[in-house]
Amino acid sequence: MEKPYVIGIDMGGTGTKFGIVDTKGTILGQGSIATPDYPEINDYIDALYEGLLPLIEEVGGFSQIRGIGIGAPNGNFYKSSIEFAPNLPWKGVIQLGDLLKAKFQLPSAVTNDANAAAIGEMTYGVARGMKNFIIITLGTGVGSGIVINGDLVYGHDGFAGELGHTTIRRTNGRLCGCGKKGCLETYASATGVARTAREIIETSDEKSSLRSLDIDKITSKDVYDAAIAGDSVAAEIFRTTGNILGEAFADFVAFSAPEAIVVFGGLAQAGELIMKPIREGLDNNVLPLWRGKIKVLPSELKASDAAILGAGALGWEAK
Amino acid sequence: MEKPYVIGIDMGGTGTKFGIVDTKGTILGQGSIATPDYPEINDYIDALYEGLLPLIEEVGGFSQIRGIGIGAPNGNFYKSSIEFAPNLPWKGVIQLGDLLKAKFQLPSAVTNDANAAAIGEMTYGVARGMKNFIIITLGTGVGSGIVINGDLVYGHDGFAGELGHTTIRRTNGRLCGCGKKGCLETYASATGVARTAREIIETSDEKSSLRSLDIDKITSKDVYDAAIAGDSVAAEIFRTTGNILGEAFADFVAFSAPEAIVVFGGLAQAGELIMKPIREGLDNNVLPLWRGKIKVLPSELKASDAAILGAGALGWEAK
């Protein structure tokens, strides 16, 4: 009989979430650990094991588990490794797949977190049935997963899909954590939005409830709350951020002509406040043949679920 | 017995070249017609038929031909059509595949000209054996063909791979024929290079043999000849154009992490004069993980052969 469950793990810089997933995409049990609590990778693997063990036993033990899929920052599908991840405690190249296999005695597959989210959307989310789409994950950074002809794009080396590091401003671009200037990530990540907020607040005299907040700690949630309450400065922050995303999307469309671009993460929860300026930015910058034709869709999956589900989906084919 | 030959057709705005190709990529016979001589598409198809008939008879007649592949501007693989091609005599949507099938009574497949070149490079050229590469065709326009996991990327609608119309200058960008501003094509096409030449000549006092030419008609060949003779203004034109291409390539790499980018067309014949600044522009703008790792290669196929061979390769699987 086919084994009925997989393990999906969503590794992030602050937290790691994990769950047991069935063939229908139901998460049967889940848990989490704090990634930075384990400066030694072996301790991290042990903690994962201890967190998962009761969940595994609950569904009938290891014999019921087909495999493990894990989405991780800088995860490499080909090599089952994480490599030089700036936001993780472990430096250099970590053979994550081998470590999981050795500890759990289960087939294991590694991909990056945005690719896991793409698989989640394709299998259970808003991209169900789509063969060509792009997911853009807006969080601490800006990640992406690209699906072409129904397959994730990994590229020659397994690192394809770094759309957060395409250059959106070549003149006076903001300095990015990667060392480049003007990366999309410096405008559309959480810190990018906060920086845009600060710039807009400092260069205008307009009244805004945002002025009462600590200007360096403004979150997209703060901006959302203000915009919903009618704050025009907050609306302008979304307009600016959305237009920049739309400009970037126009170039992505010229590359792979996707059916849709799925926007994932906190910012996507602002709904039309961000989707409308994204669509405007896209239509103003895309070739006429695509104008009005590319769907821009907010993710419908809970962020943590999408990544667990997507990573889990990898587990079905893990080796 | 398998039929041993295909017909490859390379349709361009000025000329159409065609040939009979065997399984090894040898072009057994070829000919050409002038595209603009046939304002009626049916006359064009008739002229193709008349041009090809003697070549077909020479290899043993129609029974020896497996199929027809044609690369055409704005060609759509999914629909076997050409759609709203600005540089062709026929307006709107032309059902090119159906017309060829009806006239030749042979299976026929349509793709765009840059995709045909990509198939040519993959099957017979410098990208032999590569599963992930991009070809950039530098001519009157700038086209592209993208190969991922060994397959051409057509996208959701068949129009993927319009990298000439990604935006490389968002501030004071040159107006493109497509209506947008700052497209890569406005800098790296033949007219783009001529325009860069004019700008550099007009804003410097440096001596240059290019000053004796009609400034609006400077070709990449003129610039090449001058650069080879030691003209520093000509070298600067290549440097500027190459750096811009490299900047653009950096974003393409972030998308699909190709093993190589193949540069195709007249400009590629300038060799290291253009390749070196392309590599510099790429390395200065790409994420550290790809620095120095992406091959930038000039095409090794004769331009006309690559397109005939690539279109022909499509013919083997035409329906």
The shortest CB-CB distance from A165 to any of B149, B180, B254 is to B254
Residue A156: pLDDT band with limits 50, 70, 90? very high
How distant is the Cα of A228 from the closest Cα of chain B, in angstroms?
31
Instruction: Report whether pLDDT(B1) > 70.
Output: no
Inter-chain residue contact A257 with B169, CB threshold 8 Å: no
Taking contacts as CB-CB distances below 8 angstroms, the residues of chain B near A151 are: 149
- pLDDT at residue number A1: 63
- Residues from chain B contacting residue A167 (CB–CB below 8 Å): 247, 250-251, 285
Beta strand A295-298 with A260-265 is parallel
The per-residue DSSP string of A199-255 comes to HHHHT-----GGGGS-GGG--HHHHHHHHHTT-HHHHHHHHHHHHHHHHHHHHHHHH
Q: Is the pLDDT of residue B220 over 90?
A: no
d(CA B6, CA B108): 10
B182-194 burial: b if 16+ Cβ within 10 Å, else e:
bbbbbbbbbbbbb
Q: Return the DSSP state at B224.
A: H
Q: What are phi and psi for residue B146, nearest 5 degrees?
A: -120, 125
The answer to whether the Cβ–Cβ distance between A132 and B156 falls below 8 Å is: yes
Distance CA B69, CA B18 (A): 10
pLDDT at A170: 95
Contact flag B167-A257 (C-beta cutoff 8 Å): no
Angle at B161 between CA B86 and CA B126, to 5 degrees: 110
Best CA proximity match to B43, nearest among B16, B70, B75: B16
The reply to whether residue A166 touches residue B254, judged by beta carbons under 8 angstroms, is yes
> Other CB atoms closer than 10 Å to residue A144's CB: what's the count?
27
Chain B residues bordering chain A (beta-carbon distance below 8 Å): 83-84, 131-132, 146, 148-149, 151, 153-163, 165-171, 178-180, 247, 250-252, 254-259, 285, 287-290, 293
Q: Stretch B128-157: mean pLDDT, rounded?
A: 95
| Residues on A contacting B at a C-beta cutoff of 8 Å | 83-84, 131-132, 146, 148-149, 151, 153-163, 165-171, 178-180, 247, 250-252, 254-259, 285, 287-290, 293
d(CA A146, CA B255): 8
Tell me whether 0.95 is exceeded by the ipTM: no
C-alpha distance from A256 to closest chain B C-alpha (Å): 5
* pLDDT more than 90, % of chain B: 80
Which residue of chain A has the CA closest to B148?
A155
Nearest CB to B132 within list A84, A156, A293? A156
Residue B10, pLDDT > 70, answer yes
**Has residue B285 got a pLDDT over 80?**
yes
User: Chain B contacts of A153, Cβ < 8 Å?
Assistant: 148-149, 255-256
Residue with tokens 């903690």: A47
Report CA dihedral (B145, B149, B150, B154) to the nearest 10 degrees: -40
Closest CA to B196 of B243, B151, B162, B149: B243
Q: Which domains does chain A have, with CATH numbers?
A: 5-121+304-315 (3.30.420.40), 127-300 (3.30.420.40)
What Å distances lie between residue A207 and A22, A65, A237, B31, B185, CA to CA?
51, 57, 14, 72, 44
**Which residue in A148, A178, A288 is closest to B288 by CB distance?**
A178
Nearest-CB residue to A163 (from B151, B254, B288): B254
Residue A175 has pLDDT above 70, yes or no: yes
Residue % of chain B over a pLDDT of 70: 99
Average pLDDT of chain B? 93
Residue A130 to residues A252, A304, B195: CA-CA distances in angstroms?
Answer: 17, 22, 42
| Two tokens, residue B287 | 């994420």
pLDDT tens digit string along A29-47? 999 999 999 999 999 999 9
pLDDT in tens, A114-123: 999 999 999 8
Among all chains, which residue has been given the structure tokens 């595209």? B35
* pLDDT of B218: 85
Phi-psi region of A92 (alpha: psi -120 to 50; beta: other; left: phi over 0): left
* Residue of A153, A257, A288 lying closest to B178 (CB–CB): A288
| pLDDT reported for residue A218 | 85
pLDDT of residue A87: 80
Residue B39 C-alpha, separation from nearest chain A C-alpha, in angstroms: 24
| Banded pLDDT at B140 (limits 50, 70, 90) | confident
DSSP, collapsed to helix, strand or coil, labels residue A273 as helix
Query: Is the CB of residue A137 less than 8 Å from the CB of residue A179?
Result: no
Query: Closest Cα partner for A98 from A74, A72, A79, A75?
Result: A79
Cβ separation of B155 and A256 shorter than 8 Å? yes
Count of pairs with CB atoms under 8 A, one residue in A, one in B: 124
Split at pLDDT 50, 70, 90, the class of B204 is confident
Which chain B residues are within 8 Å of A83, Cβ to Cβ? 289
Phi, psi dihedral angles at B41 (to 5 degrees):
-60, -35
Mean pLDDT over all residues of chain A? 93
Q: What is the DSSP string of B81-117?
A: EEES-TTSS--SEE-HHHHHHHHH-S-EEEEEHHHHH
**Strand ordering across the sheet containing B75-76:** B75-76, B81-83, B93-94
Mean per-residue pLDDT, B164-191 = 95
Smallest CA-to-CA distance from B147 within B259, B249, B297 is with B259
Q: Once rounded to an integer, what is the mean pLDDT over residues B171-177?
A: 94
pLDDT value of residue B216: 76
Residue B38: pLDDT band by 50, 70, 90 thresholds?
A: very high
A86 pLDDT higher than 90: no
Residue A306 pLDDT: 84
Residue B139 — very low, low, confident or very high, per pLDDT cuts 50/70/90? Answer: confident
Q: Is the pLDDT of residue A62 over 80?
A: yes
Between residues A47 and B84, which one has the greater pLDDT? A47
User: What is the mean predicted confidence (pLDDT) over B262-285?
Assistant: 93
